[in-house]
């Protein structure tokens, strides 16, 4: 019996539901429940997500774990918790570099784990990136100047979040923020917050919960049509903004020491 079929059957019975009651709960036909449990059919991805939410599990656990009375989920956001990454390959079985345009970032939040969605994303070919898994993200806004809005960041997939290094830049996918490109302000620890810092001093740093994070990609290169300009002389407005940010940072440090 496959893991999906055995997990459906085990979890349904654990809730004390008949196949009909379970089908009614999910809004599907009873015959489909029987087909899933007997391995005559497999749920589509949308239903898998619904099942995972219904049983309060991750999709990865629901698909890949043998869930029994002795099974226990790994801590949410664990740095060593293996994650399933959807990829696509070319005709020679080489991994593609999928492109996530700015307009598609909201859709990526919902479809990042769906192989069919990932396969439909635009593709890039960059011969210097042959080893590893890479994805390209078009960033929005001016929080990471001098990289301007519309710059494409080439990121390498980070499987173990404990490998994330303070001070380096990453693309982070999270439930609350979607796709963002930021500098990391602290070392990741299981079930702790990750501090995200903007290179533009006008923007304040902020934290997100480890359990909120879905994917992390280490920035390896960028593509931009905006050629670098000479560094301008500081203006009164920029100096004022920098001083205000410094005052806020000092105030936060003083509060943290009290």
Q: pLDDT tens digit string along 37-64?
A: 998 888 887 788 888 888 888 777 888 7
CA distances (Å), origin 204, targets 144, 168, 183, 197, 216: 12, 17, 12, 7, 21
C-alpha–C-alpha distance, residues 67 and 130, integer Å = 37
Residues 94, 221, 167, 194: is their CA dihedral positive or negative? negative
* Cis amide leading into 146 (omega within 30): yes
Query: Quick one: pLDDT at residue 111?
Result: 81
Long-range contacts of 101-109 (CB under 8 A, 24+ apart): 101/138, 102/138, 102/139, 102/140, 102/149, 102/150, 105/137, 105/138, 105/140, 105/178, 105/179, 106/178, 108/173, 108/178, 108/179, 109/173, 109/175, 109/178, 109/179, 109/214
Query: Quick one: pLDDT at residue 80?
Result: 46
Which whole number is the average pLDDT over 65-77? 73
Q: Where are the alpha helices (DSSP H) in the chain?
A: 3-14, 19-26, 30-37, 45-54, 59-64, 105-111, 115-120, 236-257
Confidence band (pLDDT; 50, 70, 90) for 144?
A: very high
pLDDT reading at 191 higher than 60:
no
Query: Quick one: pLDDT at residue 42?
Result: 85
Query: Quick one: pLDDT at residue 30?
Result: 93
Query: Quick one: pLDDT at residue 114?
Result: 79
Taking residue 110's Cβ as centre, other Cβ atoms within 10 Å add up to 11
Which whole number is the average pLDDT over 183-195? 82
Query: Quick one: pLDDT at residue 1?
Result: 53
Pick the residue with more confidence: 147 or 90? 147
Which SS3 state, helix, strand or coil, does residue 170 take? strand
Pick the residue with more confidence: 90 or 170? 170
Pick the residue with more confidence: 152 or 80? 152
- Token pair listed for 244: 């205000």
C-alpha–C-alpha distance, residues 247 and 178, integer Å = 29
C-alpha–C-alpha distance, residues 201 and 143, integer Å = 8
State pLDDT tens for residues 172-188. Answer: 998 888 999 999 999 87
Query: Quick one: pLDDT at residue 256?
Result: 64
Q: Which of 1-10, 197-206, 226-235 has the highest mean pLDDT?
A: 197-206
**pLDDT > 70 fraction of the chain, expressed in percent and rounded:** 93
Mean pLDDT computed over every residue of the chain: 85
């Amino acid at each position: 019996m496959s893991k999906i079929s055995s997990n459906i059957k085990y979890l349904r019975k654990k809730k004390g539901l008949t196949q009909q009651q379970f089908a009614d709960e999910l809004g599907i036909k009873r015959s489909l429940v029987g087909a899933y449990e007997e391995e005559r059919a497999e749920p589509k991805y949308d239903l898998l997500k619904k099942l995972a939410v219904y049983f309060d599990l991750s999709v990865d656990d629901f698909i890949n774990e043998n869930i029994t009375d002795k099974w226990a989920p790994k801590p949410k956001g664990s740095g060593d918790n293996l994650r399933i990454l959807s990829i696509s390959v070319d005709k020679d079985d080489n991994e593609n570099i999928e492109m996530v345009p700015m307009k598609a970032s909201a859709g990526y939040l919902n479809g990042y784990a769906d192989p069919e969605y990932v396969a439909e994303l635009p593709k890039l070919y960059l011969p210097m990136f042959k080893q590893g898994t890479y994805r390209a993200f078009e960033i929005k806004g001016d929080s990471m100047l001098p990289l301007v809005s519309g710059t494409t960041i080439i990121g390498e997939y980070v499987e173990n979040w404990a490998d994330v290094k303070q001070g380096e830049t990453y693309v982070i996918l999270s439930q609350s923020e979607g796709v963002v490109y930021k500098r990391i302000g602290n070392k990741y620890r299981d079930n702790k917050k990750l501090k995200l810092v903007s290179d533009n001093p006008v923007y304040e740093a902020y934290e997100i919960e480890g359990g909120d994070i879905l994917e992390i990609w280490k920035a390896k290169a960028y593509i931009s049509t905006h050629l670098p300009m000479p560094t301008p002389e500081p203006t009164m407005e920029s100096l004022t903004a920098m001083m205000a940010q410094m005052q806020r940072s000092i105030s936060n440090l003083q509060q943290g020491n009290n």
